[in-house]
Amino acid sequence: MKKNHPDLKKGLLPRHVQFIALAGMIGTGIFKGSSDTLHIAGPSVIVAYLIGGLLLFIIMAALGELALAYPNHNVQHLVNKAFGFQISFLVGWLYWINWIIVTVVELLAAGSFLQFWLPQTPLWLLSFVSAVVIIGINLFQVQYYGEMEFWFAGIKIIALVAFIVLGFFLLLGIMPSTIQNPLANYTAHGGFFPHGISGTFSAFLVVMFSYGGAELIGVAVTETKDAEKVLPNIIKGAVWRVIIFYILPIVIICGIMPWDKVTGEDSPFVQVFSVTGLPGAAHIMNFVLLTAVLSAANSGIYATSRTLFSMAQSGVAPAGLTKVTRKGIPIVGIMITSLCILVGVYLAYLTPSEVISYLMTIPGFTVMTIWMSICAAQLKLRPHYVNQPSFKVSWFPYTTAFALLALGVIFIGFLFNSNNLTGTIVSLVTIGLLIIFSFISRKKNTVTV
């Protein structure tokens, strides 16, 4: 990596990094996307989240090993080291596009949650206001961003724990409610697999989108103090917490209300509290959901700006993107991200009823591409470590190869699924264009990591 570039400041503490990763994962994917996965797979979506959680654990372990073997290298740097300029170009720009779309989705979701209280206000205006707030937060020094994200993420984690405890009290009849025989909802409406195994498989795309964000640890590592010491524990803790915070709430939702009664207009979490009849609970949950998606959008702006910065360092993006302020903020990357967010808000103005559903299909493809590149990079680089990391993936290479193969099967399956036609076309066209641009850029730039 060239050393004559300005650099980011190491202002993130371990607790900041752990909560940044959680913030990126616990957002629209679970709070809003869970209604889509329930429609697709019914209660069997629990199986999809379990399998996705297993793959997530392997990927995060591989990323942790690579980060320790190559200190101060983020995901894009690692892919560059393993496969060179063109693959690094493709993966870096895909990751940036992924987080741009995710950030737009989170901000649109924030607007939709605000409509719970302001139903007459247009979605685009509420989303625009949310975007202005989040962009402003990212203009502060990174330690202030990390502190804000710590508290943002803390609110939704506390709320999820409260939801899980309250939900189990309702399921087990400990707390009185109007719900009749809740446990029957797992099988009474077409069975546990109402749409068969194919329905469960089809839910994987939204599940992958939901889990996307875990790899944000691999972006934040270059701004983390004592990363080599704290990274393994951060990764293990983040994976287990996210699996718990996804699977247990879905189990509760499927038990408390029939899966085919999930409307998709409001979050299933709000619907659950609404049917319980608890006074004010739906409003409290909606506030928590608003905080959650704003938190995820906050992580998205962080991810996109830092990805542009690292790509510029590697030569796969214009050198001007390495410009930072005196506070160590990659200001050019944040401004570019802000412009893209405004385009997303404009899409909401054009098609307010469809834009979120369309956009949510695309990150599923890009997340799987990034995860496959992490697995492939670990397989490629493990024999070439100069310094052996203290943390390694167990049963290598079989675990990493299994994750890579499973992700490949899921990816190919969705390419041929007619329900994902729009997302497939957009994703393939984007990949094709990036491949063309990678050849053009390679001729102009010979900078390597």
Q: Write out 178-202 in H/E/C secondary structure.
A: CCCCHHHHHCCCCCCCCCHHHHHHH
Residue 277, pLDDT score = 65
Residue 99, pLDDT score = 81
Domain count along the chain: 1
3-state SS assignment for residue 95: helix
Beta bridge partners of 12: 224
Residue 102 lies in a domain: yes
Q: How far is Cα 123 from Cα 115, in angstroms, rounded to an integer?
A: 7
Task: Tell which residue, 201, 206, 198, 212, has the closest CA to residue 242.
Answer: 212
Q: To which H or E segment does residue 48 belong?
A: helix 45-69
12 φ, ψ (degrees, to nearest 5): -95, 130
Query: What six digits make up the tokens of 125?
Result: 């205006």
Q: How far is Cα 131 from Cα 106, in angstroms, rounded to an integer?
A: 10
Residue 8 lies in a domain: no
**Which residue type does 2 have?**
K
Q: Judge contact between 19 and 242, C-beta under 8 A.
A: no
224 φ, ψ (degrees, to nearest 5): -105, 135
Residue 1, pLDDT score = 42
Residue 9 lies in a domain: no
Interhelix angle 355-381/33-41, rounded to 10 degrees, is 90
Residue 322, pLDDT score = 79
pLDDT digits (tens, 9 = 90+) for 201-258: 878 777 776 777 666 665 555 555 666 666 666 666 666 776 777 788 888 888 887 7
Beta bridge partners of 224: 12
Q: How far is Cα 65 from Cα 70, in angstroms, rounded to an integer?
A: 9
165 CB-near residues (< 8 Å, 6+ apart): none
Q: Where are the alpha helices (DSSP H) in 328-420?
A: 331-350, 355-381, 398-415
Query: What six digits make up the tokens of 311?
Result: 């790509």
CA dihedral 271, 276, 277, 281 (to 10 degrees): -60
Residue 89, pLDDT score = 86
Q: To which H or E segment does residue 236 belong?
A: helix 227-256
Query: What six digits make up the tokens of 20?
Result: 């940044």
258 φ, ψ (degrees, to nearest 5): -55, 135
* 278 burial type by CB count under 10 A (0-12 exposed, 13-18 middle, 19+ buried): middle
Q: Judge contact between 153 and 26, C-beta under 8 A.
A: yes
Residue 203 lies in a domain: yes
In the chain, what is the straight-line distance between the N-terminal and C-terminal CA atoms, in Å?
4
Question: Over the range 236-271, which residues count as b (16 or more CB within 10 Å of their CB) and which as e?
Answer: eebbebbbebbbbbbbbbbbbbbbeebeeebbbbbb
Q: Judge contact between 129 and 118, C-beta under 8 A.
A: no
Q: How far is Cα 122 from Cα 151, in angstroms, rounded to an integer?
A: 29
User: What sign for the dihedral angle of Cα 170, 172, 175, 177?
Assistant: positive
pLDDT under 50 in the chain at which residues? 1-5, 447-449
From residue 210, give the alpha-carbon distance in Å to each of 63, 96, 227, 363. 18, 17, 26, 9
Query: Domain of 229: which CATH number?
Result: 1.20.1740.10
Q: Judge contact between 89 and 438, C-beta under 8 A.
A: yes
Query: Which residues constitute the domain of residue 419?
Result: 14-444
Q: Judge contact between 92 and 314, C-beta under 8 A.
A: yes
Query: What six digits make up the tokens of 176?
Result: 């009185």
Residue 401, pLDDT score = 94
344 CB-near residues (< 8 Å, 6+ apart): 100, 101, 103, 104, 105, 107, 108, 355, 359
8-state DSSP, 87? H
